[in-house]
Chains A and B, each alone.
Chain A
């Protein structure tokens, strides 16, 4: 009893994936029922809204022109510092550029960086976790001690150290953020692999003489993937925050490249006369992160708990 009291919620806070690993039914090869999915989503307006937000943001990063016809890089200098209005939803900046258009076009780099960060964390962390969990013994020990060390360095400090070493730029910042969250992925992947490894069907497969790699590929990975995917969704949200924080600090791409964090940082110079330059781009970040977190929560517990 004391074990769960100490461990469960605490670790849930640090690596949220633990919260759902317990008490979840595994249905190997279960099909997703479209009607059930639709009912699930419609009953949760918040979730529906989150999906809509995320779809819009994704669309904006591929086809920004669909949302705005204004040039994000060229404005009318004489029309600078106009507040939000019908013709400029988010107002204009110091050079008369349309801020809404800049936010929409900024989605591309910001999302690209976030995806790279999640991918790095997913691939590297997942690999470490699977190898540790599947091999066991001293390999497990060594790898997990390394993961513990990574966890003991505050994530932002680790990212900053990597930025110092790698230099500035969107991709470098993304890699730095990704590596800082490798540890969480490694832990979740490992614990999933361990659980699945000991499951009856895996034991059976091994007993019947299947090769280790086929056991890994056929049974262990597909079953361990779910929680890691949920973690990836959650990590997407925190990566947006981390990437935007680093570009806010000035380590992202230089102008005219558009990134959400940089937009806010530039707006700081006009905090006293143009609030919309900081407030509105920040809203875009907050909405996106909120939406991904909401979806992650749905993927995690709610879906399996519903009748």
Chain B
């Protein structure tokens, strides 16, 4: 068990390092000169003052050889220093830390909605004996993954804010302001959870132990929840881990639609302003959240189901 934990930790660190490297390569060296992009701040070409270019280049260390820059940057990143935002001059880490709580609130609520609605849908669809209801319920998840989130958000605003005045249309005020954005963000996630859970529930219901439980005279609802759902929720848990990254990234669109403060809006603004250090911080941060969640789930997993340890190697590669 200890060996497993250490191995998973090492893998997580390795993935983070690689994610940093990817972002470094993409942002700093793909198109050419990042300094011109910064000085031009979103403009195509630069009749930018050469002296300013040189100063910026020196300030960001771009006048040094690439490997040296990379080592210096990586060294600072390890200590949590991603440099200063080009557009605001504030440290990237502080900017992200300020925006994070709002986004965690949003994604947390969205995950809750997704699990409750998606899970509920899957359980109901597999439980019901009404053919039409099952068909109807099972047709919802494919719909959920096909609609653009920004469109869902706008329709919700139009209906529940502007027409019915139930919830605020934008901003971070209170729980009421959280409902519509969280619901919007939960649509694709909930749909995917429902798909996976429904599938594994159907598989579980076919298993021998369910037959045994039934033979022993357990009620239908009891068999469904106690036996089948318990076994079927393990894969769903893995999916939840995988979907966390998607939720965090989804906040870019949802926070824009609802003019909510948070990581997503910071990201959108950073991309628009070609604020390279900030975008890089966001990418690495996204990977960090994704890796951490999956690490936690992997470490919790053996506690839930001791049979898992054997299979850990394959899954780890995925994270």
Contacts and interface: CB of A to CB of B under 8 A. Distances in A.
Interface of A: 1-3, 5-14, 144-146, 148-158, 160-167, 237, 241, 244-245, 248-251, 261, 264-265, 267-268, 271-272, 275, 278-279, 282, 285-286, 289-290, 293-294, 297
25 contacts: A3-B311, A5-B231, A5-B235, A9-B200, A9-B203, A9-B236, A12-B196, A13-B195, A13-B196, A13-B239, A149-B18, A153-B22, A153-B283, A157-B267, A158-B283, A161-B26, A164-B274, A164-B276, A164-B279, A165-B26, A167-B31, A245-B150, A249-B271, A261-B150, A271-B157
B252 A160 contact: yes
Contact of B22 (A11, A150, A250): A150
B250 to A, nearest CB: 7
A157 B158 contact: no
A267 B69 CA distance: 44
Interface stretch (B50-58, B59-67, B141-149, B219-227): B141-149
B167 to A, nearest CB: 15
Interface string B114-147: 0000000000000000000000000000110111
B100 to A, nearest CB: 15
Given A3-B311, A164-B270, A264-B151, 11 more contacts: A6-B311, A10-B238, A13-B242, A149-B22, A160-B279, A161-B23, A167-B31, A241-B148, A271-B162, A278-B154, A290-B146
A125 to B, nearest CB: 15
Of all A-B residue pairs in the complex, the 5 with the closest CB atoms, nearest first, are A282-B151, A154-B249, A156-B249, A10-B238, A154-B245
B154 A268 contact: yes
B162 A148 contact: no
A157 B317 contact: no
A237 B147 CA distance: 10
A251 B271 contact: yes
Chain B interface size, under 10 / 10 to 19 / 20 to 34 / 35 or more:
35 or more
Contacts of A245: 148-150, 253
Given A157-B267, A245-B148, A6 B234 contact: yes
Contacts of B305: 2
Interface stretch (B89-97, B210-218, B286-294): B286-294
Contacts of B267: 157, 160
B283 A293 contact: no
Contacts of B23: 153, 161
Contact of A148 (B15, B200, B256, B280): B15
A250 B273 CA distance: 12
A7 B311 contact: yes
A50 to B, nearest CB: 11
Given A6-B308, A158-B283, A290-B142, A278 B318 contact: no
Contacts of B246: 154-155
B279 A152 contact: no
Contacts of A166: 30-31
Interface of B: 15, 18-19, 22-23, 26-27, 30-31, 44, 142-143, 145-151, 154-155, 157-158, 162, 192, 195-196, 199-200, 203, 231, 234-236, 238-239, 242-243, 245-246, 248-250, 252-253, 256-257, 267-268, 270-272, 274-276, 279-280, 282-283, 286-287, 290-291, 305, 307-308, 310-311, 314-315, 317-319
A149 B15 contact: yes
A176 B242 CA distance: 21
Secondary structure dominating the interface of B: helix
Contact of A152 (B19, B157, B192, B248): B19
A282 B27 CA distance: 32
A6 B27 contact: no
B14 to A, nearest CB: 8
B286 A153 contact: yes
B148 A286 contact: yes
Nearest to A163: B271
Contacts of B236: 9
Nearest to A155: B249
B165 to A, nearest CB: 12
Nearest to B145: A293
A48 to B, nearest CB: 16
A164 B27 contact: yes
A153 B155 contact: no
B310 to A, nearest CB: 7
A152 B287 contact: yes
B248 A154 contact: yes
A79 B22 CA distance: 51
Nearest to A46: B139
B161 to A, nearest CB: 9
Nearest to A241: B148
A130 to B, nearest CB: 19
Given A9-B235, A154-B249, A290-B146, A161 B279 contact: yes
Contacts of B274: 164
A304 to B, nearest CB: 17
A9 B200 CA distance: 7
Given A279-B155, A290-B146, A249 B282 contact: no
Contacts of B162: 271-272
Nearest to A238: B145
A164 B195 CA distance: 34
A161 B311 contact: no
A11 B10 CA distance: 22
B124 to A, nearest CB: 19
A8 B249 CA distance: 25
A211 B267 CA distance: 51
B319 A152 contact: yes
B128 to A, nearest CB: 20
Nearest to A187: B318
A84 to B, nearest CB: 15
